[in-house]
Structure 1
């Protein structure tokens, strides 16, 4: 159901610093950056960033009441401060889930709230389905089920009709005779040996997403989406996951297995005008999980920084803390 917009919207909690940071070894080449902030004795929450290939940032701590939450964040394999950067080796949904579990055990946490938006919602759902006994509840934003229709909409034909100006810039690095399969054309270049072409395509791929996240349009693109240091990891890892169907064993694996977590409380924040992860996916998840709370934000797109999304997520984390 859609809740009525509150008379006064909630804002982010004050800025806080991490009280502990570190790197976690894995059973592969990867070392995972992690941090903790908030109340060491509070309700544990794991924060799963988007992309795949994005990164955590200090602003993500501010969706949580620091007096109530023990906020755990990590940079997923190949991105952010995790090492090696932009690596696709042993980088799958299942190795990320193994990293989350390894970190939970390392920190001595029994169960935690699972928080994620966009690809972070995908990973949150996959983690909870795989380890339902380790989740207290879920707080999700911009539902992405990583299905072929969603990918076709955003990377081939769909969002292009709403943002034709940004779409022209996305098309520009790819020759016309390869544009019938844009993900494949980008993948070839993002994983190729030509570093200059890789960087150019990474910035174009990343900028396309950055220019469409907000209802304000391309002018609201976050600066980092056009910076090579961020874009290369973001684009390479996203394209790698998308070309491989998220490494799920079947299409609609998340919806087909949602019965494993229907007993868990879940809050879904979804922008009505989200072009990156359109509302059809949040609606499908809510239909499959009618016990979930679907909060449709009437004046928002995909960005977690939009006022209505901030309001919904802060209310969602407060709700999860009061369960």
Structure 2
């Protein structure tokens, strides 16, 4: 199902982020070959588990990411990976809410991480057959999903999300007309709404 260009909510109805929370547990996950991935857990220890696996490499386990989840209803696990580079800055700066150096102001060694990781994965095609992810997305049938994507996203074009929504039978794609890769108030509104519905009903639909 596709909701194309949802209307921008009014200032009175726009959903806001939840209050800041701090993690109650943290650690380093050994993923082999001397590599470690930072993880943290916040929210309600007895809440519905939610794993944040990717907010953009190196975007970090920040207060902003945590605040999308109702801390009374979710047990949120976040992981952090490598950082971005100047290419991301150049692309994202062209978007409506883009800034000059969203990632490039970070340490040079952190930015180098993205170059090395992406070069390694891209040169090997992520060790997958061409089109394998979309081809097998039908296996997700019966698992509800929500894809919230900015129409003006230059880093991850809308076409990819559109193809995934068509291949995933129980996914809903919501296209945000005023958002790019960095999001917008409307995108925040839609993401929080979807998470609230999952917490309440276990599905993205209103119950």
One fold, TM greater than 0.5?
yes
Higher share of residues assigned helix: 1
2:194 corresponds to 1:316: yes
User: Match for residue 297 of structure 1?
Assistant: 176
Q: 1:235 aligns with which of 99, 102, 115?
A: 115
Superposition TM-score, scaled by structure 1 size: 0.55
User: Cα gap change, 1:27/1:318 in structure 2, threshold over 3 Å: closer, same or farther?
Assistant: same
Following the alignment from structure 1 to structure 2, what is the Cα–Cα distance between the partners of residues 65 and 286? 26
2:88 corresponds to 1:70: no
Superposition TM-score, scaled by structure 2 size: 0.83
Residues 35-56 of structure 1, C-alpha deviations (whole Å, 9 max, x = no match):
1001111001110124446543
Alignment of 1:88-237 (within 5 A): 206-213=85-92, 215-216=95-96, 219-222=99-102, 224-227=103-106, 228-237=108-117
Q: 1:259 aligns with which of 138, 146, 165?
A: 138
2:31 corresponds to 1:12: no
SS in 2 for 1:226: coil
Contact 1:51 1:234 in 2 (8 A): no
Structure with greater Cα Rg: 1
User: Match for residue 247 of structure 1?
Assistant: 127
Residues 132-183 of structure 1, C-alpha deviations (whole Å, 9 max, x = no match):
xxxxxxxxxxxxxxxxxxxxxxxxxxxxxxxxxxxxxxxxxxxxxxxxxxxx
Following the alignment from structure 2 to structure 1, what is the Cα–Cα distance between the partners of residues 97 and 47? 38
User: Between Structure 1 and Structure 2, how many residues are aligned?
Assistant: 194
What RMSD in Å do the two structures reach over aligned CA positions?
2.2
Higher share of residues assigned strand: 2
Please report how far the alpha carbon of residue 318 of structure 1 lies from its aligned counterpart in structure 2 after TM superposition. Answer: 1.1
Contact 2:92 2:99 in 1 (8 A): no
User: Cα gap change, 1:229/1:12 in structure 2, threshold over 3 Å: closer, same or farther?
Assistant: farther
Contact 1:211 1:218 in 2 (8 A): no
User: Match for residue 158 of structure 2?
Assistant: 279
Q: Where does structure 2 lack aligned partners over 5 or more consecutive residues?
A: 203-207
User: Cα gap change, 1:235/1:12 in structure 2, threshold over 3 Å: closer, same or farther?
Assistant: farther
Following the alignment from structure 1 to structure 2, what is the Cα–Cα distance between the partners of residues 292 and 276? 22
Following the alignment from structure 2 to structure 1, what is the Cα–Cα distance between the partners of residues 19 and 125? 38
Following the alignment from structure 2 to structure 1, what is the Cα–Cα distance between the partners of residues 99 and 38? 31
Residues 199-233 of structure 1, C-alpha deviations (whole Å, 9 max, x = no match):
xxxxxx812212323623764431x3233143111
